[in-house]
Amino acid sequence: MVTTQRQVDIPASRARIGMHVVGLDRPWENVPLLFQSFVIDQPEQVEILRTHCQWITVERTAYTEQVAAEAAAHRKAIADGSGFEAERPLSEELPHAHRRYQEAQRYIDSLLLKAADGQSLPLKEARDIVRNCINSISSNPNAMFWLTRIRHRDAYTAEHCVRVGILAISFGRFVGLDENQLETVGLCGMLHDVGKMRIPPEVLNKPGALDADEWRLMQRHPEYGADLLGSDHELEPAVRDAALSHHERLDGKGYPSALTGPAISQLTRMVSIVDAYDAMTSDRAYREGIPTQEALKILYKNRGNQFDDQLVEAFIRLIGIYPPGSLVELHTGEVAVVLATNSRHKLRPLVEVVLDSDRHACLPRVLNLNHGPTDADGNTYSIRKALPDGVPGFSLAEHIRHQSDNGAGAGTPKPEPR
């Protein structure tokens, strides 16, 4: 995108009627518009720009100059890590977030059971669930991040939908989506896999590789999901589109329709990245989950052909090297849970030691690795490697339950028998 002094770049989410659009962040031919420079005069044009673009170039006015300044400040906040200060401490938000997460889990469990039984879906409730998650993430993003690390192999699909919804909201907030779009992308994430309930359980939960017939059946779940969501006129069209297209690829090698980049909306691209990340880091019926760092490397490797390159890079910045709630092995062999990231020194987060070097439960203690704490031999604490979720001897779900029940938060853990 090339601008002049009379033009400014603004987020496509801030497009509105009356703006003179002169440039896009992608080739004009990849966006279904009639003209390559035009004044927005129809709501449909606003929706097209929001769906297909992240940034647009517009003629400078007092309003667009203000929007551009706000966007520049937002990008600077992301770059220096200061854009997402918590409104309340983790100790205060975690119990609230835990309740909201459980509400979402109960709702999705019920929704998927109804989908499996062929009943009509109570989709109106989904919006309130998403709004509650948005409010919690705005108060303290780390609380919901902790909760997305809770995984149970036997409840994969339901938990996966909740996690993708929460992570999609966090992702949308990170890239600057407005409140309405945050709500929409949250709905996209939570409802994207509802079609899996039409897949026979013996195929959906098969512990081994699917044969050709089973794989063809599995590839129908996006269509089933779109059918289940298509009759609800209270949902934005983008929600059905994400259910239908979240397994499409930019290079046209996805399913069910082999769409290419221009036909895949911005919100669907975001959900596709979050969906793949959560699937890779979760234990499945047929394989163990992989650590966060490995999953992010795979996303990065496949940017540009499978996933949107700019969005992948933004998602990696959001998640970070050691996201809150993830487990790490320290140089001492001890296991710690990440409490909060350090935006300026990403290799030195705030952690809580939960297992000793023999992987036995120990009295919890908090270490701020940025302050250079030392072990008994005088060596500075450092992280040896990231660990997958579900390390034997430690249950994040129980840890969070204890923190929520007792009101102890990051930096002030209470000793407990384990």
User: Could you read off the pLDDT of 192-209 as tens digits, one per residue?
Assistant: 999 999 999 899 888 888
Query: Which pLDDT band holds residue 80 (cuts at 50, 70, 90)?
Result: very low
Provide the pLDDT for residue 343: 67
- Asked if residue 117 belongs to a domain, the reply is yes
Percent of the chain at pLDDT exceeding 90: 50
* Most confident residue range from 64-68, 240-244, 280-284: 240-244
Q: Are residues 132 and 158 in the same domain?
A: yes
Q: Are residues 170 and 293 in the same domain?
A: yes
- Asked if residue 413 belongs to a domain, the reply is no
Into how many domains does the chain fold?
3
Choose one of 285, 319, 353: the last residue of a domain.
Answer: 319
Rounded to two decimals, the pTM is 0.78
Query: Which segments of 303-342 are extended strands (E)?
Result: 327-330, 335-340
- Asked if residue 61 belongs to a domain, the reply is yes
Asked which of 66-70, 107-111, 198-202, 400-404 is least confident by mean pLDDT, the reply is 400-404
- Asked if residue 414 belongs to a domain, the reply is no
**Cα separations in angstroms, 371 against 51, 81, 333, 405:** 44, 18, 20, 30
- Asked if residue 126 belongs to a domain, the reply is yes
Task: Tell me: pLDDT of 273 over 70.
Answer: yes
Q: Are residues 76 and 106 in the same domain?
A: no
Q: Are residues 69 and 122 in the same domain?
A: no
Q: Are residues 384 and 290 in the same domain?
A: no
- Asked if residue 362 belongs to a domain, the reply is yes
Provide the pLDDT for residue 248: 96
**Cα separations in angstroms, 353 against 332, 357, 399, 410, 413:** 11, 10, 12, 12, 10
Task: Tell me: pLDDT of 96 over 60.
Answer: yes
- Asked if residue 239 belongs to a domain, the reply is yes
Can you give the residue range of the structural domain that contains 118?
A: 90-319
Q: Are residues 119 and 179 in the same domain?
A: yes
Q: Are residues 341 and 296 in the same domain?
A: no
Q: Are residues 183 and 268 in the same domain?
A: yes
Choose one of 319, 352, 386: the last residue of a domain.
Answer: 319
Here the CATH number for the domain that contains residue 269 is 1.10.3210.10
d(CA 53, CA 267): 10
Q: Are residues 167 and 277 in the same domain?
A: yes
CB 339 within 8 A of CB 352: yes
Q: Are residues 200 and 238 in the same domain?
A: yes
Percent of the chain at pLDDT exceeding 70: 91
Within 10 Å of residue 123's Cβ, how many Cβ atoms?
18
The more confidently predicted of residues 232 and 158 is 158
- Asked if residue 416 belongs to a domain, the reply is no
Task: Tell me: pLDDT of 57 over 60.
Answer: yes
The more confidently predicted of residues 326 and 168 is 168
CB 382 within 8 A of CB 369: yes
Q: Are residues 129 and 233 in the same domain?
A: yes
Give me the chain's average pLDDT, please. Answer: 86
User: Could you read off the pLDDT of 352-363 as tens digits, one per residue?
Assistant: 999 999 999 888
> For residue 305, which of 252, 349, 346, 256 has the smallest C-alpha distance?
252
- 218 phi/psi in degrees, rounded to 5: -60, -35
Q: Are residues 125 and 190 in the same domain?
A: yes
Choose one of 265, 284, 319: the last residue of a domain.
Answer: 319
Provide the pLDDT for residue 411: 42
